[in-house]
Amino acid sequence: MTAMSTALLSESPWEGRVLLGDWVPAHGGTARVIEPATGSTLGSVGQATAEDVRIAAQTAAGAQRDWAAAPYVERAAVLRRAGDLWQRHSAEIARWLVREAGSVPAKAELEIAQAAQECYEASAVAAVPNGEVLPSQQPRLSFAQRMPVGVVGVIAPYNFPITLAIRAVAPALALGNAVILKPDPRTAVSGGVVLGMIFAAAGLPPGVLSVLPGDADTGIALVEDPDVPVIAFTGSTRAGRAVATAAARKLKRTHLELGGNSAFIVLEDADVEAAATAGAFGSWFHAGQICMAAGRHLVHRSISAQYTALLAAKAEKLRVGDPATDPVDLGPLIDARQRDAVHRFVSDTVAAGATLVTGGVHDGLFYRPTVLADVPPDSPAATSEIFGPVAPVLSYSTVDEAVAIARAGEYGLALGIVTRDVMRGLEIADRIPTGLVHINDQTVNDEAVVPFGGIGDSGTGTRHGGHRANIEAFTETRWTTLRSSPPTYPY
């Protein structure tokens, strides 16, 4: 993919501003955009407040009516043009992802390709039949119709700032809704400004998409706004509970994709080298800052030592550094707070009895890929989401023991199982409640066409991906009847 001669972000109507119909100053002033690898300032964005949310919601409610009334072919065309623009501007957008989010180039390219595909898939959902004729005991036409919900609030995190925004933004728009997007302030350009610029260039009418970077108070204002009936939130379980609580008070629907502590089970018959390669990617891709990351490597006791040694050897070969200037495998963690949290998990787990095999050190925000062996099942690294480049290895003796460990805790996002007997793997998977299962693969997998979501503390189930999930997420069902003339009633 090559970039256009005219850059998407070179002219800066967005600099220090928010998108409210047009790029305008925010009531909260401006915030710096920081490059985690160097600490340098890359630019500034507007800092939205509750007042900006109220203006955006009122604007969106008006704009949405005309957008929903537009022929589906027009909505589909906007989404297709947006998909083309992601590809045409891929090089420029990738540079922002590398510098602002700390992404290695391969991860940035993957994220942009998925954004384009999300738009293409959303363009198709605009034309999906949106109702059904129902039987009736009365002499009337009775049918159910899927209607746009109105205005959708999307709150997206920093780790995959484009993917985790566009997978809600694109289908919501395609189905006739307006969207207010609140990106994480740490990735407000790549996760917010870029989407605003892409859809404006694609011909989306003003006011249908607003982009409001801001803090937690801005997010709560979006959740509580009376003109925003549906919230799509991706983030931590702790923050998700706050969103769900605030939304419940307003009787709003929420689609929550939250944290995880996914098990990666290696059976005794596995190809150990292949399993270690997959496990390494599952724990260390994007420095482990992924909800689906392999949080627990459950390895049969007969091969545990071999697996751990292979994993450690891979960790020691990986390059950690600035992805904007060096050919590295892992970039920085997003900020010092996240680095300290990761290091605390490692230190506390070692104190609980685990063995630090390799890693456990950092230089600034650059954390070395880490392997922990002999991890107690009740230790911090085994029971919590780390969100950093740490691979805790737990040994087991029987399948029942592995299943018990994998089922422990409240998360239920992803599961990976490596075995030469795929039917046995599927039987084991059926005993472990999760939203996603991968036999003979690691836990980090996603596509625009698949249903995505977790259960338990990992979220409210499948709410993203695929036509069925998207229609359920961003429309309401309305029952309608028609008669040729009014009936006679005994009153």
Q: State how far the Cα of 55 lies from the Cα of 63, in Å rounded to an integer.
A: 12
DSSP code at position 326? S
Q: State how far the Cα of 266 lies from the Cα of 242, in Å rounded to an integer.
A: 36
355 SS3 class: strand
Q: State how far the Cα of 336 lies from the Cα of 226, in Å rounded to an integer.
A: 36
Q: State how far the Cα of 22 lies from the Cα of 284, in Å rounded to an integer.
A: 39
Please state, in angstroms and as integers, the Cα–Cα distance from residue 277 to each residue in 173, 311, 371, 442, 447, following that order.
Answer: 39, 7, 13, 9, 21
H-assigned helices in 102-236: 105-125, 163-174, 194-201, 216-224
Residues 6+ apart with CB under 8 A from 415: 262, 263, 264, 265, 406, 429, 432, 434, 436, 437, 438, 443
Q: State how far the Cα of 108 lies from the Cα of 235, in Å rounded to an integer.
A: 20
**291 catalytic, yes or no?**
yes
The answer to whether residues 389 and 367 touch, using CB atoms and an 8 Å cutoff, is yes
The answer to whether residues 379 and 353 touch, using CB atoms and an 8 Å cutoff, is yes
Beta strands in 65-163 (DSSP E): 131-134, 141-148, 151-155
Residue among 256, 230, 228 at smallest CA distance from 242: 256
Question: Phi/psi at 74 (nearest 5 deg)?
Answer: -70, -45
Q: State how far the Cα of 33 lies from the Cα of 96, in Å rounded to an integer.
A: 11
Q: Which helix (H) or strand (E) element contains residue 95?
A: helix 90-101
**257 catalytic, yes or no?**
yes
DSSP code at position 4? -
Q: State how far the Cα of 248 lies from the Cα of 223, in Å rounded to an integer.
A: 10
- Measured between its terminal Cα atoms, the distance across the chain in Å is 70
Q: Which of 109, 111, 119, 291 is catalytic?
A: 291
131-134 vs 141-148, strand pairing mode: antiparallel
Q: State how far the Cα of 77 lies from the Cα of 80, in Å rounded to an integer.
A: 5
Q: Which of 111, 118, 121, 257 is catalytic?
A: 257
Could you list the active site residues? 257, 291
